[in-house]
């Protein structure tokens, strides 16, 4: 049995990843804060996977992170999808007035490169997926009118995760960048 932990699985990209990775030999550990939305994700996947557990923790504080780790327990996990996050979005481009957000997202690339090297000997792969603007509820929280029709779907991001997972175990796919053919926002 494989155990997959997906943070931010209650909606959007995290939910689409859960739906994509659900399989009979997989236990899905679905994390979020919104219990109602998380239950909807469970409903969508439970008939397709071996087991589902819901983990409710606020990752904006260190106690929430520690509690999540404690609840996952000592049994090994085979995949961590580190997806939970808030708007606005930009890890490779700077946007006016988004300095705090861009700084934190750019920093994750440096963090990932270091962790990738630290874990290489243990055969643990660290993969960053950079989606273009993706049509999820995250955009409801950002002031302004956003052209949803130019955005990619969360299912496309989930497909990139599945592709990365399907590579041979000795191949370290490092980054996947998805853009929309209709152009950037
Ligand atoms: N949509 C885009 O255009 C886009 C593009 C590039 C990258 N991203 C990144 O992709 C990730 C998912 O985005 P999305 O579009 O799917 O967003 P979303 O629909 O708003 O979903 C965000 C998820 O993150 C969880 N979350 C947020 N803050 C949390 C916290 N403090 N503690 C625990 N969980 C928290 C939410 O949980 P609850 O709802 O249960 O609170 C929800 O499940 C984010 O990291 C985002 O920055 C998004």
Q: Domain map of the chain by residue range?
A: 1-84, 86-185
Lowest mean pLDDT among 50-59, 89-98, 104-113, 155-164: 89-98
Q: How far apart are CA 98 and CA 106, in angstroms?
A: 12
**Structural tokens at position 147:** 């052209």
- Residue 134 phi/psi, 5-degree rounding, is -120, 135
**Structural tokens at position 109:** 């690339």
Q: Which of 43, 52, 5 minimizes the C-alpha distance to 24?
A: 52
The stretch 82-105 carries a mean pLDDT of 85
User: Ligand 1 centroid vs 121 CA: distance in angstroms?
Assistant: 31
pTM here? 0.95
User: Ligand 1 centroid vs 138 CA: distance in angstroms?
Assistant: 7
Q: How far is CA 46 from CA 22, 43, 130, 161, in A?
A: 8, 6, 28, 20
- Residue 10 phi/psi, 5-degree rounding, is -75, -15
Q: How far apart are CA 31 and CA 146, in angstroms?
A: 28
The whole-chain average pLDDT of the chain stands at 94
Give the pLDDT of residue 73: 97
User: Ligand 1 centroid vs 102 CA: distance in angstroms?
Assistant: 15
Class in CATH terms, 86-185 = alpha beta
CATH superfamily of the domain spanning 1-84:
NAD(P)-binding Rossmann-like Domain (3.40.50.720)
Residue 32 in contact with ligand 1 by CB distance below 6 A:
yes
Residue 174 in contact with ligand 1 by CB distance below 6 A:
no
Which residue's CA is minimally distant from atom 36 of ligand 1? Answer: 8
User: Ligand 1 centroid vs 50 CA: distance in angstroms?
Assistant: 25
Give the pLDDT of residue 30: 98
């Amino acid at each position: 049995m494989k155990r997959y932990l997906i943070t931010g699985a209650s909606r959007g990209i995290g939910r689409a990843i859960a739906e994509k990775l659900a399989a009979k030999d997989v236990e899905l550990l679905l994390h979020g804060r919104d219990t109602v939305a998380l239950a909807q994700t469970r409903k969508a996947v439970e008939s397709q996977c071996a087991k589902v557990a819901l983990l409710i923790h606020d990752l904006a504080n260190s106690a929430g992170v520690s509690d999540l780790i404690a609840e996952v327990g000592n049994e090994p996990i085979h995949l961590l999808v580190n997806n939970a996050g808030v708007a606005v979005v930009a890890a490779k481009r700077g946007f006016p007035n988004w300095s705090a957000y861009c700084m934190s997202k750019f920093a994750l690339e440096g963090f990932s490169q270091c962790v990738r090297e630290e874990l290489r000997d243990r055969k643990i792969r660290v993969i960053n997926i950079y989606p273009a603007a993706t049509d999820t509820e995250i955009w409801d929280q950002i002031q302004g009118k956003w052209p949803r029709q130019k955005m990619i779907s969360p299912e496309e991001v989930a497909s990139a995760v599945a592709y990365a997972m399907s590579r041979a175990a000795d191949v370290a796919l490092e980054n996947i960048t998805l853009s929309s053919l209709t152009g950037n926002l």
